[in-house]
Amino acid sequence: MAKQTGLFQFTGKLDNVIGYRRNGSYFVRTMPVTVKQTAATRQASRNFGIASRKAKLIRQAITPQLEINCDGSLVNRLNKVLITAGKDQWKHLEGFRFNKHTGIDKFFWLQPVMQNGTLKIPAQTLSPQGAITHLEITVMTTRISFVERRIIKQHSTTIKVDLNAPFNGAELNASVPGKGTLLVVLQVTAWKGTDPVGDRRFMAADILFVAPPATKKEAAKRKQHIPDVRKVLPYRPAKTPGSPVVRTANKWQRE
C-alpha cells in the first residue's frame, strides 16, 4: 500500500494498479497476478449474481408504483433475503418491508389474507393515528419471469378508509393470471384531510404473498386430472328417419 502524493489523485483501476480512498487520503496498490477461487467461492459468487438479478427485477417492478421513498438500504436488504433464503427464498420474501421503519402491522392487527386471487382485509377496529383522518390502501400485483428477466403484467387497486367510521373489512382484486412468479404488495399511506402525510412512520409497503411458477412436475400432475371427454361421454350415433336407435346393455344398435 502506497500513499498518493501527486497533484492528480485517482480511484479505480489503472493498468495493474488500483487507486482507492481511505479516511480522506488516497492510496494505491498493485493487482494480484492470479486470484484463486475454491468451488465454494465460485458457487457463492454465482448465487450472489442470481440473487442480485432477481432483486433488481423486483425493485424495477415495485418501486415505481410506490408512494413512499425507499431508503438507501433497500438494495442490500433485498439482496440479503434472496441470498440467505436459499431454495425457500420466495417464502422468506413474504413480509419484506420496502420501508424498513414501518410495516402494515402498524395499521392492521388482523392481517390481510389471500384467497382465490382476492386480498381480504378482515373487519376490525383500526387504531387511531393521531390527527390522521384516512388511510389509502393499495394492493399491487405483479407477474415476473425471472427466466426471461422481464416484468410480464401488473395490476393495482386502491381504496380509502375513513378512520372516523367503522371498518367492515375490504376485498381487493389481486388476480393477475399468467406465467411467472406472482408478487402481491400491500401499501398503506396515511392522509390528513385531502393531503398525504409525508412521514415515513405512517407509510408501509410490504410483500404479503409470493407464488412461484408451477414446476414441470406440478404442471404434468394437473394435466393428468383433466378428463378425456371422449372417454366420459357415451357414443350416441345420429338418428336417421325410419331407423330409431336403442341402447342395449353393452352398445348402441339399430332396431
What does DSSP say about strands 118-121 and 170-173: parallel, antiparallel, or unpaired?
A: antiparallel
Distance CA 61, CA 50 (A): 17
* Predicted pLDDT at 215: 64
* Predicted pLDDT at 55: 93
Distance CA 200, CA 102 (A): 7
Q: Tell me: the pLDDT tens digits for 119-152? A: 999 999 998 888 899 999 999 999 999 999 999 9
User: Average pLDDT, stretch 26-55?
Assistant: 82
User: Average pLDDT, stretch 76-87?
Assistant: 87
Residue with the three cell numbers 485517482: 10
Instruction: Give residue 222's pLDDT band: very low, low, confident or very high (50, 70, 90).
Output: low
Distance CA 114, CA 117 (A): 7
- The answer for residues whose C-beta is within 8 angstroms of residue 64's C-beta and 6 or more apart is none
Distance CA 122, CA 138 (A): 15
| 208 neighbors 119 (Cβ within 8 angstroms) | yes
Query: Residue 222 corresponds to which cell in the numbers above?
Result: 394437473
